[in-house]
Amino acid sequence: MINGHYGSCMRVLVYEVNAYAHQLVDVRNIDGGLQGEARAEYMLNQLKGCQMLFTLSIGGPAAAKVTRANIHPVKKMMPVAAAEALTELSLVLSHNPPPWICKLLGITSSQNELQFEEQWDDA
């Protein structure tokens, strides 16, 4: 579930997502004993290799740190099953992804859908 605040999460679920499917590739537990700046840095390290972060809420300073780490935070308005959010993301990827997603993926929005699909087929 995507159902909590970024700063108080106890684990990070890492998924690989393409235009056709998604799969869980890693579960990263969070050290609950850390606080403040130590926790913030630890959280960023747990997100290494990720391009997007789905969360129910995230504070401004934390969102800025995540963004500076080249990870795009996506806030959901209400709790949602991860599978639902990931299926929605796959659908967006398979059709006309917005420019910010194209930028994350390193493709130009002017490339046609076939080129986009070929990039994901290679992944």
Q: What is the pLDDT of residues 22-76, one digit of tens each?
A: 999 999 999 889 998 999 999 999 999 999 999 999 999 999 999 999 999 999 9
How would residue 116 be classed by pLDDT, with cut points 50, 70 and 90? very low
d(CA 100, CA 93): 12
Spatial distance between the Cα atoms of 85 and 2, rounded to a whole number of angstroms: 8
d(CA 61, CA 119): 33
Q: What is the mean pLDDT of residues 102-114?
A: 63
pLDDT > 90? residue 83: yes
pLDDT of residue 71: 94
Work out the pLDDT band at 104, boundaries 50, 70, 90. confident
Here the contacts of 116-123 (C-beta below 8 Å, separation 24 or greater) are 116/19, 117/19, 120/18, 120/19, 120/20, 120/93, 123/16, 123/18
* Domains identified in the chain and CATH numbers: 6-122 (3.30.420.130)
